[in-house]
Amino acid sequence: MSAESAISVRGLTKVFGANTVVDSVDMEVPTGAIYGFLGPNGSGKTTTIRMMCGLLTPDGGEGRTLGHDIRTEARAIKENVGYMTQKFSLYGDLTIRENLDFMARMYGLKNRKAVVADTLCALGLEGRGNQLAGTLSGGWKQRLALAACMQHKPLLLLLDEPTAGVDPKARRDFWDEIHRLSRQGVTVLVSTHYMDEAVQCDYIAYIAYGKKLIDGPAREIPARVGLTTWRVDGPELIALEDALRADPRVEQVARFGAQLHVSSIDAAALDAVVCEWTQKDGTHTWVKKDAELEEAFIYLMTTSADNFGQTGAAAQ
Amino acid sequence: MSLFSLSRFAAVLFKEFVQMRRDHLTFGMMIGIPILQLVIFGFAINADPHNLPTLVEMADESPVARAVLSGMETSDYFDFVGVVTGAEAGDAALREGTANFVVVIPPDFERDIIRGLSPEILISADASDPTAVGAAMGALNGILDTAIRQTLTGPLAAVAARPAPFSVVLHKQFNPEGETAVNIVPGLLAVILAMTMVLITAVAIVRETERGTMETLIATPVRPLEVMLGKILPYVFVGYVQTAVFLVAAQLMFDVPFTGSGLAFFVGFNVYIVVNLALGFLISTLVHTQMQAMQASFMLILPTILLSGFMFPFAGMPGWAQTIGTAIPATHFLRIVRKVMLKGGGMADITGDLRAIVLIGLVITAISLLRYRQTLD
C-alpha cells in the first residue's frame, strides 16, 4: 500500500513531558489526494505533521513519507516536501524577492532568477518584489509562504493551518490554489479546524486529544459516524435548545444560523423526541436530514476520551 | 477609580516574579554573575603579583652571588624557573613570555665586590606588562640590600659598610618607558573582538528561533555546517574591519609600535575571530531568547577581561585561575598580539598560543555542531 501512498504512518506517538500529544496515529495519504487533517486546537495536528516531515522524532511508531523512512531519511523527505508552517516563518526583514531567492537557494534550484521571477509573476507581486515581507497583510503572507514552499516543485505539500486568521476571500483564493496544485498531481495534506474547508478535501482524518477518531473519504464520514439528524426551524429556538439539551435521548444540539440540528446515534429514541415536540407545540418545523460532516465531527469531539484533563473544547 | 490599586500592583508584582522564576537561565545568571565577580576579584586578581617566572644567567657561582639570588627568591616576587647561558636565550624567553625577568650575574662578581669595583647585576625585564614587573622592581633594591648585608659578614663586613657594593642595571625590554597604554591597547583588540564577535553570533541562531523562522530553515534540506559557516562568515568581515580600525587607532592615537611579523598577526587574528564566532554559535544553541544570549555573552566577557592577563598580570594569579585563563581564547590571542606588536615576534614565537586557540576552537565547534538541532525536538 505504501507504494502508492504519499504518506503512510503506523502507530505514530509523541510524548512531551507527561502529555501524550500524539497517541498511536495511523494514517494513509493516497498520492494525488487533498487530505484534510482536522481537529481542534491542541489536538496534535502540528506535531503529527512535523513527525511526518522529519522535523520531530517520533517516540513511537514508524512510517514513510514519499517512500522515505521518517526516522532515518529526513533529508530526502525535506528535499521533496513543501512545508508551510502555521505561523508565518519567512524573514520579515527580507524583501519578498529576497525570501523567494533564499528558499530557491536552499533547494539548490537551477535558473534561480527565472524561478523567482515566475513565482512573483504567479503571485501577482511583480511590482512589489522589493517590499519587505513583514509588511504584507495576513492573506498575502500566506500566499507568499505557499509560493515559497512550492518553488522547488515538491511532490507533497504539508500545510499546517494555512488559513488561520485569514479573511474569507483570501481563504477561498487559497483553496482555489490548492485545487489547482492538486490537479497538477501534487499531494496535499492540509490541517485546519474550519469545517467548511473540510468539505473541500477528498479524504479526511479527524484527530482529537492526540488520538485519531476516524479517517476515510470525506463523503463517507457522516454515514460512518451514523448520526440521525433533524433540522428544526421556528421561533424561540433558544428555549427549545435548552429544553432539548436537557433531554437525555438527544445526544447533540447544534445551532446552524437560524436553525437547530438535533442529532443522536439512536434513531428510534430521537424519533420519539421529535414526535413529542411536534405534538405539544406546532410552531416549529422538524425535517429529517442527512447528517453532515460538521455534526459528525462535533459528535466525535464531545464523545471522545479526553486525556488533557479538559472536556469538550469547541469543535469549531 | 482608585489612584493606586493594591490588587493591580500585586498582579504585576506576582506576574514578574513568576516570569523571573520561569526563565531559569536569566535567574541563574543574576545569581551567577555576582558570584563570578566576587571570586575573580576576591581571589584571582592580584595587582601586586608574586612568583613571576625568572631565569638566571650565572657567570659567578660564589656564595655572594648565591646569596643575592636566594634573597630574591625568598622575597616571593621572583620564581626562578631555570638557568640560561647567553643573552640570546634570555631574550628569546622574554619574547616567548616564558619568563618575565632574566637576571645576569657577571663573572667574578664576588671578587669585584671585595675589590670595591661595584660590579653590575643586569636584570632584563619584560616591560610590555608594566604592572607585572613594576612591583617586583620596586621591591628589588631593598631585597638585594638585605641579602648582601647578611652575606658580607666577618672580614667582609667592611665591604658591606661601603655604599653600593654592587649596582643593578635594569634593562626594560619592549616598553622601555613603561607606558600602560602600550600594554593595554594591544590587549584591547583581544577583548573588543571577543565582546562583539561572541555577542553577534550568539544572537544569530536564537533570533531565528524567536521569530519562528527556524522552522522554515530546518524544514529545508540545509545541513548544520552550512548554517554555521553561513552565519559565521559575514561576521569575520566585521572582525576584519574592527581590526583595521584598531590598528590605525593604536598607531595614531596611542603610538603603540608594531614591531613584529604581519603574517603572524594576520594568522593569529583570523584564527581568533573564527574561534570567538564559534563560541557565540555555541551560546546560541544553548539559550532560548536573544536576551539570554546577551546575558550569557556578558557572563563570558567577565573572565575574558579579568582572567586573560588583559587587565591584571596573568603570572600573578593563583594556579586555578591560571588554569581557567588558559581555556579562554583571549588569553592566548593577547599574548600573540603583545608578542607580535611589542616584542617583534614572528610565526615561530606564536605557535604555542596559536595551537591553544585552535584546540579551544575545535572543542567549541564540536560541541556546537552536536548541540545544533536538525529537528524541533
Q: How far, in Å, are A5, A65, A186, A316 from residue A30 at the CA level?
A: 4, 11, 11, 26
CA B303 to chain centre: 9
Min distance A80 CA to chain B CA atoms (Å)? 9
Compare CB distances from B376 to A55, A75, A79 and report the shortest one's residue.
A55
From edge to edge, which strands make up the β-sheet containing A19-30?
A: A19-30, A5-16, A60-65, A68-69
Query: Which chain B residue lies closest to A58 (C-alpha atoms)?
Result: B377
Query: Which chain A residue lies closest to B227 (C-alpha atoms)?
Result: A106
Specify the pLDDT at position B118: 82
Question: What is the DSSP code string of A55-89?
Answer: SS--SEEEEEETTEETTT-HHHHHHHEEEE-SS--
B111 at interface of A, judged by CB pairs closer than 8 A = no
Residues of chain A neighbouring B214 (CB-CB closer than 8 A):
89
Specify the pLDDT at position A146: 92
HSE of A99, CA atoms in CB hemisphere, 13 A:
30
**What would the grid cell of residue B50 be?**
608574586
Q: Is the pLDDT of residue A2 over 70?
A: no
Q: How far, in Å, are B21, B24, B285 from residue B30 at the CA level?
A: 11, 10, 20
Compare CB distances from B213 to A79, A81, A89 and report the shortest one's residue.
A89
Q: How many domains does chain A have?
A: 2
**What would the grid cell of residue A175 be?**
483553496
Q: Is the pLDDT of residue A260 over 80?
A: yes
CB B343 within 8 A of CB B172: no
Q: How many CB pairs under 8 A join A and B?
A: 48
Q: What does the pLDDT look like over A130-183, one tens digit per residue?
A: 999 999 988 899 899 999 999 999 999 999 999 888 888 888 989 999 999 999
Q: How far apart are CA A297 and CA A229, in angstroms?
A: 13
Strands annotated E in B314-359 = none
Q: What does the pLDDT look like over A180-207, one tens digit per residue?
A: 999 999 999 999 888 788 888 999 999 9
Q: How far, in Å, are A49, A176, B77 from residue A196 at the CA level?
A: 21, 14, 85
Query: Which chain B residue lies closest to A14 (C-alpha atoms)?
Result: B377
Q: How far apart are CA A265 and CA A224, in angstroms?
A: 11
* CB spacing of A89 vs B216 below 8 angstroms: yes
Give me the residues paired with residue A189 across strands.
Answer: A35, A158
HSE of B237, CA atoms in CB hemisphere, 13 A:
5
The rounded percent of chain A whose pLDDT value lies above 90 is: 46
* Whether residues A115 and A263 fall in one domain: no
Min distance B213 CA to chain A CA atoms (Å)? 4
Among residues A12, A81, A36, A30, which one has the least CA distance to residue A199? A36
* CB spacing of A50 vs B376 below 8 angstroms: yes
* Whether residues A116 and A48 fall in one domain: yes
pLDDT confidence band for B4 (50 / 70 / 90):
confident
Q: Is the pLDDT of residue B97 over 90?
A: no
Grid coordinates 437525555 are at which residue? Answer: A248
Which residue type does A95 have? T
User: What is the residue range of A174's domain?
Assistant: 5-221
Q: Is the pLDDT of residue B315 over 60?
A: yes
Domain contains A311: no
Helix/strand/coil for A278: helix
Q: Is A149 exposed, middle or buried (0-12, 13-18, 19+ CB in 10 A)?
A: buried
A79 at interface of B, judged by CB pairs closer than 8 A = yes
Domain contains A206: yes
* Whether residues A205 and A233 fall in one domain: no
Domain boundary pick from A168, A200, A221: A221
pLDDT confidence band for A234 (50 / 70 / 90):
confident
User: CATH code at A173?
Assistant: 3.40.50.300
Helix (H) or strand (E) holding A182: helix A168-183
Specify the pLDDT at position B357: 95
Pairing of strands A252-256, A60-65: unpaired
Q: Is B319 exposed, middle or buried (0-12, 13-18, 19+ CB in 10 A)?
A: exposed
* Whether residues A143 and A259 fall in one domain: no
User: CATH code at A236?
Assistant: 3.30.70
User: Mean pLDDT of all residues in chain B?
Assistant: 84
Query: Which chain A residue lies closest to B220 (C-alpha atoms)?
Result: A78
What's the whole-number mean pLDDT along residues B288-300? Answer: 87
Specify the pLDDT at position A13: 95
Report the residue count for chain B. 377
Give me the residues paired with residue A157 across strands.
Answer: A82, A188
Q: How far apart are CA A160 and CA A83, in angstroms?
A: 8
Residues of chain A neighbouring B376 (CB-CB closer than 8 A):
50, 55-56
Which residue type does A244 have? L
pLDDT confidence band for B1 (50 / 70 / 90):
low
Of A15, A46, A85, which to mutate for an interface test with B (greatest number of B Cβ within 10 Å)? A85
Q: How far, in Å, are A63, B244, B254, B290 from residue B193 at the CA level?
A: 48, 12, 19, 20
Grid coordinates 459528535 are at which residue? Answer: A299
Q: What does the pLDDT look like over B125-145, one tens digit per residue?
A: 888 877 777 878 888 878 877
* CB spacing of B212 vs A92 below 8 angstroms: no
Specify the pLDDT at position A97: 94
Q: How far apart are CA A200 and CA A308, in angstroms?
A: 30
Higher model confidence: residue A313 or residue B23?
B23
* Whether residues A201 and A273 fall in one domain: no
Q: How far, in Å, are A94, A119, A177, B54 from residue A133 at the CA level?
A: 6, 14, 20, 64
A312 at interface of B, judged by CB pairs closer than 8 A = no
What's the whole-number mean pLDDT along residues B62-84? Answer: 84
Query: Which chain B residue lies closest to A102 (C-alpha atoms)?
Result: B217
CA B51 to chain centre: 17
Q: How far, in Å, are A219, B127, B222, B367 from residue B227 at the CA level?
A: 46, 44, 7, 15
Q: Is A301 exposed, middle or buried (0-12, 13-18, 19+ CB in 10 A)?
A: buried
Compare CB distances from B222 to A83, A92, A106 and report the shortest one's residue.
A106
Specify the pLDDT at position A308: 46
Determine if residue B83 is left, alpha or beta; phi over 0 gives left, psi from -120 to 50 gives alpha, anything else beta. beta
Domain ranges of chain B: 52-173, 180-371
* CB spacing of B220 vs A103 below 8 angstroms: yes
* CB spacing of B219 vs A107 below 8 angstroms: no
* CB spacing of B221 vs A107 below 8 angstroms: yes
Q: How far, in Å, are A106, A108, A124, A137 from residue A129 at the CA level?
A: 19, 21, 10, 15
Q: What does the pLDDT look like over B49-67, one tens digit per residue?
A: 878 889 998 888 888 888 8
* Whether residues A43 and A181 fall in one domain: yes
Residues of chain B neighbouring A50 (CB-CB closer than 8 A):
376
Neighbours of B377 (CB within 10 A): 11
* CB spacing of A85 vs B219 below 8 angstroms: yes
* Whether residues A95 and A152 fall in one domain: yes
User: Mean pLDDT of all residues in chain A?
Assistant: 87
Q: Is the pLDDT of residue A114 over 90?
A: yes
Specify the pLDDT at position A316: 30
Q: What does the pLDDT look like over B209-263, one tens digit per residue?
A: 888 888 888 888 888 888 878 888 888 888 898 889 888 888 888 888 888 899 9
pLDDT confidence band for B311 (50 / 70 / 90):
confident
Specify the pLDDT at position A305: 52
Tell which A residues from 103 to 142 touch B, by Cβ distance under 8 Å.
103, 106-107
Residues of chain A neighbouring B213 (CB-CB closer than 8 A):
89-91
Q: How far apart are CA B87 and CA A86, in angstroms?
A: 73
Higher model confidence: residue B319 or residue B27?
B319
| Topology classification of domain B52-173 | abc type-2 transporter like fold (3.40.1710)
Domain boundary pick from A166, A201, A221: A221
Query: Which chain B residue lies closest to A59 (C-alpha atoms)?
Result: B377
B219 at interface of A, judged by CB pairs closer than 8 A = yes
Higher model confidence: residue A262 or residue B75?
A262
Q: Is the pLDDT of residue A307 over 50?
A: no
The rounded percent of chain B whose pLDDT value lies above 90 is: 11
A56 at interface of B, judged by CB pairs closer than 8 A = yes
B222 at interface of A, judged by CB pairs closer than 8 A = yes
Among residues B362, B358, B354, which one has the least CA distance to residue B337? B354
Q: How far apart are CA B134 and CA B140, in angstroms?
A: 10
Of B216, B226, B373, B375, which to mutate for an interface test with A (greatest number of A Cβ within 10 Å)? B216
**What would the grid cell of residue B34 be?**
555576582
Residues of chain A neighbouring B221 (CB-CB closer than 8 A):
75, 78-79, 106-107
* Whether residues A33 and A141 fall in one domain: yes
Query: Which chain A residue lies closest to B210 (C-alpha atoms)?
Result: A89
Compare CB distances from B213 to A56, A90, A107 and report the shortest one's residue.
A90
Give me the residues paired with residue A208 across strands.
Answer: A211
Query: Which chain A residue lies closest to B226 (C-alpha atoms)?
Result: A106
* CB spacing of B218 vs A55 below 8 angstroms: yes
CB B203 within 8 A of CB B294: yes
| Biggest alpha carbon–alpha carbon distance for chain A | 74
Helix (H) or strand (E) holding A36: strand A34-38
Specify the DSSP class assigned to residue B40: I
pLDDT confidence band for A311 (50 / 70 / 90):
very low
- CA torsion sign, A178 to A179 to A183 to A186? positive
Residues of chain A neighbouring B203 (CB-CB closer than 8 A):
none
